[in-house]
């Protein structure tokens, strides 16, 4: 077996830093075999200026929205941001493909080895099939009107099926709820049964308006629903935070990546 030996100013093991007198040993496939002292490593050591570190995990990405970079203005708040994304996400297939290619390259060059990617379409499949990165596709499910829950879930399962048929060893795909403010009670219940023992993700407590919605049925999201003609007559506030409200729906041993959590309390 042939080995490669790497040395740098520091080696980061994932938990602590080792000094420059340590050498990382891998085989030609990149499998790590050992970390040993320089005096025991022999010759042919490859020396780098900087830090050797495990690859990075980007746990939350929206690759298919890469064409919106610099399109949506900053500082408007989440409610306005969501409305802008929903109304401006259209673009030509070529524009979207080129933007995704550039974003995938940027991720790879910045050290990402695995990405949790939010998917509303199957647009990114061709990029991921050629990528050196491992992708977990979180196929997003949304729908705040209870009566539409079945249709919304069926639509998402069509997208999920396309990813699963891509049959790539560097991809895995699961359904996931979008956010507490965009998933109805019935849709949460259906997702619980569709994601047994799976890894899922959800945007959580991104803004104060989300808390106001669940505690009092007030706040900025009422404007969003009105603007998009969404009837929330069946929604009843819980008097609790959005996290406390949606978490009890998931009873089937799911692992949940809760993203953003800007307004989460320590308690």
Question: Using 50, 70 and 90 to split pLDDT, how confident is the model at 189?
Answer: very high
pLDDT at 90 over 90: no
**Co-location of 116 and 208 in the same domain:** yes
**Co-location of 142 and 171 in the same domain:** yes
Q: How many domains does the chain have?
A: 2
CA distance 200 to 160: 13
Question: Using 50, 70 and 90 to split pLDDT, how confident is the model at 244?
Answer: very high
**Domain holding 46: CATH number?**
2.30.40.10
Look at residue 144 and tell me if it is in a domain: yes
Look at residue 266 and tell me if it is in a domain: no
**Co-location of 23 and 82 in the same domain:** no
- The residue range of the domain holding 47 is 3-52
Look at residue 267 and tell me if it is in a domain: no
Look at residue 243 and tell me if it is in a domain: yes
Helix (H) or strand (E) holding 138: strand 134-141
Compute the average pLDDT of residues 137-152: 97
pLDDT at 49 over 90: yes
**Predicted pLDDT of residue 88:** 74
Question: Using 50, 70 and 90 to split pLDDT, how confident is the model at 64?
Answer: very high
**Co-location of 16 and 137 in the same domain:** no
Question: Using 50, 70 and 90 to split pLDDT, how confident is the model at 75?
Answer: confident
pLDDT at 78 over 90: no
**Co-location of 44 and 176 in the same domain:** no
**Co-location of 63 and 48 in the same domain:** no
Compute the average pLDDT of residues 106-117: 97
CA distance 201 to 42: 46
**Predicted pLDDT of residue 77:** 83
**Co-location of 109 and 195 in the same domain:** yes
pLDDT at 248 over 90: yes
Inter-residue contact 108 to 131 (CB < 8 Å): yes
CA distance 75 to 65: 19
Question: 6-36 pLDDT, tens per residue?
Answer: 999 999 999 999 988 999 999 998 899 999 9
Listed in sequence order, the DSSP H helices in the chain are 78-88, 93-109, 125-130, 149-166, 185-194, 208-216, 221-227, 242-246
**Predicted pLDDT of residue 80:** 83
Compute the average pLDDT of residues 55-67: 96
Question: Using 50, 70 and 90 to split pLDDT, how confident is the model at 212?
Answer: very high
How many H-runs (helices) and E-runs (strands) does the chain carry? Answer: 8, 13
CA distance 181 to 218: 12
**Predicted pLDDT of residue 33:** 95
**Co-location of 9 and 98 in the same domain:** no
Inter-residue contact 119 to 159 (CB < 8 Å): yes
Tokens standing for residue 20: 């420059």
When the pLDDT of each residue in the chain is averaged and rounded to a whole number, the result is 94
150 alpha carbon, distance to own chain's centre? 24
Question: Using 50, 70 and 90 to split pLDDT, how confident is the model at 168?
Answer: confident
**Predicted pLDDT of residue 40:** 94
**Predicted pLDDT of residue 82:** 81
CA distance 161 to 143: 19
Q: Report the length, in residues, of the chain.
A: 267
Tokens standing for residue 220: 């900025």
pLDDT above 90 as % of the chain = 83
Question: 126-139 pLDDT, tens per residue?
Answer: 999 999 999 999 99
Question: Using 50, 70 and 90 to split pLDDT, how confident is the model at 79?
Answer: confident
Compute the average pLDDT of residues 2-7: 94
**Domain holding 133: CATH number?**
3.20.20.140
Look at residue 265 and tell me if it is in a domain: no
């Amino acid at each position: 077996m042939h080995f490669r030996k790497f040395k740098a100013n520091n080696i980061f093991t994932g938990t602590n830093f080792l000094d420059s007198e340590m050498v990382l040993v891998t085989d030609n496939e990149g499998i790590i075999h050992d970390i040993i002292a320089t005096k025991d490593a022999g010759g042919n050591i490859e020396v780098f200026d900087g830090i050797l570190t495990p690859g990075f995990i980007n746990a939350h990405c929206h690759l298919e929205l890469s064409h919106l970079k610099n399109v949506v203005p900053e500082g408007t708040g989440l409610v306005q941001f969501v409305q802008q994304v929903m109304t401006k996400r259209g673009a030509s297939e070529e524009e979207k493909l080129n933007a995704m290619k550039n974003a995938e390259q940027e991720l790879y060059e910045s050290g990402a080895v695995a990405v949790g990617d939010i998917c509303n379409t199957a647009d990114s499949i061709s990029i991921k099939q050629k990528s050196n990165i491992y992708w977990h596709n979180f196929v997003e499910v949304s729908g705040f009107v209870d009566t539409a829950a079945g249709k919304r879930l069926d639509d998402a399962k069509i997208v999920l099926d396309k990813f699963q048929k891509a049959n790539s060893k560097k991809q895995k795909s699961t359904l996931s709820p979008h956010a507490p403010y965009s998933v109805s009670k019935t849709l949460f219940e259906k997702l619980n049964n569709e994601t047994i023992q799976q890894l899922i993700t959800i945007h959580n407590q991104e803004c104060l308006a989300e808390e106001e919605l669940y505690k009092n049925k007030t706040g900025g999201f009422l404007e969003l629903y009105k603007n998009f003609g969404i009837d929330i007559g069946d929604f009843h506030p819980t008097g609790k935070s959005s996290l406390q409200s949606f978490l009890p729906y998931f009873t089937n041993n799911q692992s949940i990546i809760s993203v953003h959590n800007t307004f989460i309390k320590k308690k």
